A and B are shown apart, each in its own frame.
Chain A
Amino acid sequence: MTGSALLSVRDLCVTMRQGRAAVPVVQDLSIDLDTGDALGLVGESGSGKTTTLRAIVRLLPAAGRIRDGQVMFGGQDLARASSRELRAIRGGQIGVVWQDPLAVLDPVIGVGEQIAETVRAHSRASRSGARARAQALMRQVELPDVGQTGRRYPHELSGGQRQRVVIASAIAAGPRLLLADEPTTALDVTVQEQVLMLLARLRAELGLALLLVTHDLAVVAQTCDRVAVMYAGRIAETGTVASVFGAPRHHYTRGLLRAAPRIDRPGVLPEGIAGTPAASAAARGCAFAPRCPAADDVCRTVTPALSGALSGALSGAGGHLAACHHPGSGS
Chain B
Amino acid sequence: MSRYIAGRLAQFVLVLLGVTLATFALLHLVPGNPARTLLGAHATAAEVALLDREWGLSRPLPAQYADYLVRLLHGNLGTSIYYQVPVSTLIGRALPVTLAMLAVGAFFGIAAAIPLALLAAVRQGRAADHAVRILPLVGLGMPPFWVGFILLIVFSLTVRLFPAGGYGTTPAQHLESLILPGLTVAAVTTPILVRSLRLALVDVLGSDFVIAATARGLARWRVLVRHGLRNALVPAVSVLAVNLGYLLGGSVVIENVFGLPGVGSLLLTGIFNRDFDIVQSVTLIYALLVVLINLGADLAYAALDPRVVLGR
Contact = CB atoms under 8 A, between A and B. Distances in A.
Interface of A: 57, 59, 83, 87-92, 95-96, 98, 100, 103-109, 117-118, 121-122, 153, 155, 166, 169-170, 172-173
B217 A122 contact: yes
Query: Closest 7 A-B residue pairs measured CB to CB?
Result: A91-B217, A104-B212, A103-B208, A90-B217, A91-B216, A96-B215, A118-B216
Contact of A107 (B214, B222, B231): B231
Given A108-B307, A118-B218, 18 more contacts: A59-B211, A89-B217, A90-B214, A90-B215, A91-B217, A98-B215, A100-B208, A103-B207, A104-B209, A107-B306, A108-B231, A117-B218, A117-B226, A121-B216, A121-B218, A122-B217, A153-B307, A155-B306
B230 interface: yes
30 contacts: A57-B215, A59-B215, A87-B217, A87-B219, A88-B217, A90-B215, A90-B216, A91-B215, A91-B217, A91-B218, A96-B216, A103-B207, A103-B208, A104-B209, A106-B213, A107-B307, A108-B304, A108-B305, A109-B227, A109-B230, A117-B218, A117-B226, A118-B217, A118-B218, A121-B217, A121-B218, A121-B222, A122-B217, A153-B307, A169-B216
B272 to A, nearest CB: 49
A287 B222 CA distance: 43
Contacts of B306: 107-108, 153, 155
Interface residues of B, number: 23
Nearest to A107: B307
Interface string B102-139: 00000000000000000000000000000000000000
Interface in B226-249: 226-227, 230-231, 234
A173 B213 contact: no
Nearest to A57: B215
Interface string B277-312: 000000000000000000000000000111100000
Interface of B: 207-209, 211-220, 222, 226-227, 230-231, 234, 304-307
A109 B229 CA distance: 13
B234 A108 contact: yes
Contacts of A107: 209, 231, 305-307
A105 B307 CA distance: 13
B207 to A, nearest CB: 7
Nearest to A152: B306
Contacts of B227: 106, 109
